[in-house]
Amino acid sequence: MARRGWELDIGSASGAEPALVRVCRHGRPLSVLGGFTLAEVLVVIGITGVLFGLIAPCLGRVLETADRMACATNLRNLGLALHCYAGDHDGCFPVEELCGNPQRVLVESLYGPYFCDRSLFYCPSAAQIEPYAQSHEYGGPGGDSVVNTDENWERRYITYKYFSVTRRDPRMPLPLRLSDYPHLLRSDSSSPRWLMSDWVREGVPVFPHGERGGWGGGRNVLFVDTSVQFVRHRTLNAFGDEK
């Protein structure tokens, strides 16, 4: 007689526990209660892979947005520390020789007296641009480094560019005439002036935060008034009064 449904398998004489098995109309067992067939497992794995493929790019963008916001917070806190320093030094910000590494004057003027967290000097996305900082290509001298390591900290190599400087840096020339140096900034300088920014170098294919390099690539910029904006082009009056 054909059977369909569930039957109790009382087990073998060896003492195996009974199990409820599903039988087809011919009486052959199909599966143990609560189990999955191989086909069902493969379907679930396939669906999971498709969903992960759809979600992964969105997750990457979310994580990069979070890093961009953390970077902006670093720059804003550095701006507040710089204004505290200026308040103790007749409105003057620290002055570096060049806008690139090492930046010993900037670091030692702020770290200790105004905060004690060295990670503020390093962008969370610095690893993206580290190969380009070290490269001899793209017009750079090579040997730069922008990630948070003990060696870089001892050398005072940081991620961010600082723009209150005494002379032109050939590695990243500012849009100034030689006669415009020294380029010194104060707490009462006009608010559109750039004080610090993410690391950039002309010609590199990638900027921080996953942005493409060159014109149109974005970076976080700290302005003299401590505001931080994500900009894709040099803003008006970034390095002086422009017409």
**Mean pLDDT of the region 182-186:** 95
Is residue 5 within a helix (H) or strand (E), and if so which, with residue range?
Answer: strand 5-9
Look at residue 165 and tell me whether its pLDDT is greater than 70: yes
Q: Using the 8-state DSSP alphabet, how is residue 172 labeled?
A: S
In a domain, 199, yes or no: yes
- Is the pTM higher than 0.85? The answer reads no
In a domain, 58, yes or no: no
Q: State which residues form the domain around 103.
A: 70-231
Instruction: Identify the pLDDT of residue 29.
Output: 52
Q: Work out the pLDDT band at 215, boundaries 50, 70, 90.
A: low
In a domain, 180, yes or no: yes
Sequence-ordered list of residues with C-beta below 8 angstroms from that of 161, at least 6 positions apart, any chain: 99, 100, 172, 196, 197, 198, 199, 200
In a domain, 125, yes or no: yes
**Mean pLDDT of the region 93-122:** 96
Decide which of 27 and 160 is more confident. Answer: 160
Segment 67-95, tens digit of pLDDT:
889 999 999 999 999 999 999 999 999 99
In a domain, 129, yes or no: yes
Averaged confidence pLDDT in the chain: 81
In a domain, 186, yes or no: yes
Q: Using the 8-state DSSP alphabet, how is residue 58 labeled?
A: H
Using alpha carbons, select from 221, 137, 120, 126 the residue that is nearest to residue 171: 137
The total of structural domains in the chain comes to 1
In a domain, 240, yes or no: no
Look at residue 65 and tell me whether its pLDDT is greater than 80: no
Phi and psi (nearest 5°) for 165?
Answer: -135, 160
In a domain, 45, yes or no: no
Instruction: Identify the pLDDT of residue 146.
Output: 94
Specify the 3-state DSSP secondary structure of 71: helix
> Which range has the top average pLDDT, 25-34, 124-133, 195-204?
124-133
Look at residue 8 and tell me whether its pLDDT is greater than 50: no
Please give the distance of CA 224 from its chain centroid, rounded to a whole number.
Answer: 23
Look at residue 178 and tell me whether its pLDDT is greater than 90: no
Lowest mean pLDDT among 35-39, 110-114, 181-185, 207-211: 207-211
Instruction: Identify the pLDDT of residue 164.
Output: 96
pLDDT above 90 covers a percentage of the chain that reads 45
Instruction: Identify the pLDDT of residue 193.
Output: 94
Look at residue 175 and tell me whether its pLDDT is greater than 50: yes
